[in-house]
Amino acid sequence: MIESLLDNVSTYGGKIDNLFTLITIIVGVWFILAEAVLFYFIIRYRRKEGVKAQYVTGEKKKEHNWIAYPHYLIILCDIVIIAGAVMVWYEVKQKLPPADEIIRVTGRQWSWIFTHPGPDGVLDTADDIETVDKLHVKVDTNYHFQLESKDVIHSFSVPVFRLKQDAIPGRVITGWFNPTKTGEYDVQCAEICGIGHGIMAARISIETPEAHQAWLDEQSKMDQTQRMAMSAENQIENREDNDNG
């Protein structure tokens, strides 16, 4: 159901969408049932001249079963929902598959800094590529991200991945994703982080391995100062946007 509104481009996104469908079916049945009974009662038991209401206490065992049986069924449904939720959660947040590549995502007021490991595939080396508000990843690759924040709490959210994780200053939180389709999509900040929260928009570009390599080569030609200068420019643009907005 969600996919008709927004693409799913991660390996686990489909599982979250399925969980949505599962919950929708279960609670949907209950919801329709409850509303149907409610409206049936309202129509059926409208006041009629000379008809007195019944005296039902709800304390008798038989009457109480009206509540008790649906109640057992709800427990059953709850167990199904909990099982589904826990499994999906385990998959997305708890069990990290081995990383093909590790990137660093840093939130700050009000932009995202993405540190790509560069040609050598290792973070914190000289060939790291730092970009602002644009994340470049390869399709079909297991990425681990190390999420950090420089000032306040931000939240790294990629709706097409169905992924979200808060960035807490002073902590490094590791998560993962594996993109399944190429394209360019939104990255949002999902936790209010000050007046620029609304402009803390980034894009994620999911590329074929060849296109990603081409981008890497192009970046590697520039030296770090050039890249930083570009980043700084972006940053200033952002701030100006914000001031104008």
**Least Å from the CB of residue 201 to other proteins:** 4
Q: Output 93 or 223, the one with its CB closest to other proteins.
A: 93
In sequence order, which residues have a C-beta less than 8 Å from that of residue 124 and are 6 or more positions away?
none
Q: Interacting stretch for other proteins, rule CB under 8 A, among 118-126, 194-202, 208-216, 227-235?
A: 194-202
For residue 152, state whether it binds other proteins (rule: CB under 8 A).
yes
Tokens read off for 218 = 């192009």
Is residue 78 within the footprint of other proteins (CB under 8 A)? Answer: yes
CA–CA dist 103, 141 (Å, integer): 12
Residue 4 C-beta: closest distance to other proteins, Å: 9
DSSP states of 104-141 = EEEEETTEEEEEE-TTTT-SSSTT-EEEESEEEEETT-
- Choose, by CB under 8 A, the member of 97, 120, 125, 203 that binds other proteins: 203
The single-letter DSSP state of residue 8 is -
Considering the rule CB under 8 A, would residue 192 count as an interface residue with other proteins?
Answer: yes
Q: Contact at 8 Å (CB) between 188 and 159?
A: yes
Work out how close the CB of 178 gets to other proteins at its nearest, in angstroms, rounded to a whole number: 15
Residues 28-67 that bind other proteins (CB under 8 A): 28, 30-31, 34-35, 37-39, 41-42, 45-48, 51-59, 63-64, 66-67
Measured from the CB atom, the residue of 36 and 222 that comes closer to other proteins is 36
How does 60-78 read in b/e, with b if 16+ C-beta sit within 10 Å? eeeeeeeeeeeeeeeeebe
Residues 88-147 that bind other proteins (CB under 8 A): 88-89, 91-94, 109
